[in-house]
Amino acid sequence: MNMTFNVKEPYVFKTELCKLFYKYGADKCPAIRHSYSPEYYTLLKEYKSQFTDILEIGVGNDCQLRYSDKFAKIQISSDSIDWVFEYIPGASLRAWRDFFTDANVYGIDIDKNVLFEEERIKCFYADQSNEEELENTIRDIEKYTNNKNQKFDLIVDDGSHIISHMILSFKILSKYMRINGIYIIEDIKKEDIDRFKNIELPMGIEIIKVYEGKDSQDGFIAYQRTAVAALDRRSMRKYLPTISELIDRLSIVQLKEVFIPEHKEEYAQEIKDIVHDLDELGLNGNMIRTTIVLAQMNLHIWHNETEYRKGEGDGNLGLTHGLNGIRNTAKNIIQDQLEDGGRKDYKVDCIAAEFEDWEVSW
């Protein structure tokens, strides 16, 4: 599909992002359509070598247009050049990959025909208006990256541009922002910008930029998860549990999950909720929870082996073996959450059926 655009120099290539979006044919730059790229450059330049996981809703299809030498036609008038573009899906994903030097870029799209995989880019299917599909896609990314606690540094919504979809996607995906992570919602019409300014924000997330561009269809909003915001909000809380109370509760519920098997599912849910709250407060809830499991397993093993050696009580080598498996899994999960991964011990023993009450929910 081809279309003609008006290119005005020198504004068009003000920043590296302007050049990259233009190179691949993404309409986020003034040379093609939107005036976002200079603004994005200001927001993102300090994270160029820090951001490692980028997620964009909207890989791009025929509605987008890509500049191509092969198809370019030039007509020079007094102050402008007109070009003809052809679009290849994944334009902005490629630009993000080139800009963030150490990042992997994940694309989400409802159109299965545009999904692709290439160096540091992998696309997944999801309809952004469907909460379950979005969550499933995060699970798919977690499987792909072998990281059970996948978080993102930059999330960009350039998908359906339907307000209800954008708000729903923000509600679901903002949970997966790292500290300093930025969430951008693009192509917001002037008359709709207040809807996005007034979204009830999860704790720790704040608006960092409201951009109303060169015309009524050239707006975006950017949110960021900041540790400072999390702490400020926490200090305003009057009756909610403090962080130490949450962690204390987590360690008790973790014991209950193992020792009160008839309510295993309820406790697993409570654990998930507390981990979520800790994340909201700017901590790594899963890391804290896994450390608690590790410490508790060591205590259980210690106790069990002591009983076994004394030949008393319920000491049982089979149980020690199984708990060791849970301990190894905990260690691997901790390694998985570290930025550099590091050495992993994949020796994971299975707990025997007779001890399955001891299984923990990961």
Ligand X SMILES: C[S@@+](CC[C@H](N)C(=O)[O-])C[C@H]1O[C@@H](n2cnc3c(N)ncnc32)[C@H](O)[C@@H]1O
Q: What share of the chain is helix, strand, coil (3-state, %, to 5)?
A: 50, 20, 35
3-state class (DSSP) for residue 241: coil
Structure tokens at 332: 């691997």
Q: What are the two backbone dihedrals, phi and then psi, of residue 288, each rounded to the nearest 5 degrees?
A: -65, -45
Q: Which CB atom, from 108 or from 293, has the smaller least distance to ligand X?
A: 108
Min CB(91)–ligand X separation in Å: 3
Q: Which CB atom, from 27 or from 280, has the smaller least distance to ligand X?
A: 27
By the rule CB under 6 A, 253 interacts with ligand X? no
Q: Which CB atom, from 27 or from 153, has the smaller least distance to ligand X?
A: 27
The interface with ligand X within residues 145-174 (CB under 6 A) comprises 158-160, 165
Q: Say if residues 20 and 48 touch (Cβ distance below 8 Å).
A: no
Interface with ligand X (CB under 6 A), residue total 24
Which string of x and - marks every residue 103-142 that binds ligand X (by CB under 6 A)? -----xxxx--x------------xxx-------------
What angle, 0 to 180 degrees and rounded to 10, lies between the N-to-C axes of helices 317-336 and 285-310?
Answer: 160
Report the alpha-carbon distance of residue 59 to residue 116 in Å, rounded: 9
Paired strand residues for 313: none
Min CB(156)–ligand X separation in Å: 7
Report the alpha-carbon distance of residue 156 to residue 97 in Å, rounded: 13
Q: Which CB atom, from 58 or from 322, has the smaller least distance to ligand X?
A: 58
By the rule CB under 6 A, 91 interacts with ligand X? yes
The interface with ligand X within residues 25-44 (CB under 6 A) comprises 26-28
Helices H, strands E: what count in the chain?
11, 11
Q: Using alpha carbons only, how large is the chain's radius of gyration in Å? A: 25
The interface with ligand X within residues 46-65 (CB under 6 A) comprises 56-61, 64
Q: Which CB atom, from 54 or from 59, has the smaller least distance to ligand X?
A: 59
Note the residues at the interface with ligand X (CB under 6 A): 26-28, 56-61, 64, 91-92, 108-111, 114, 127-129, 158-160, 165
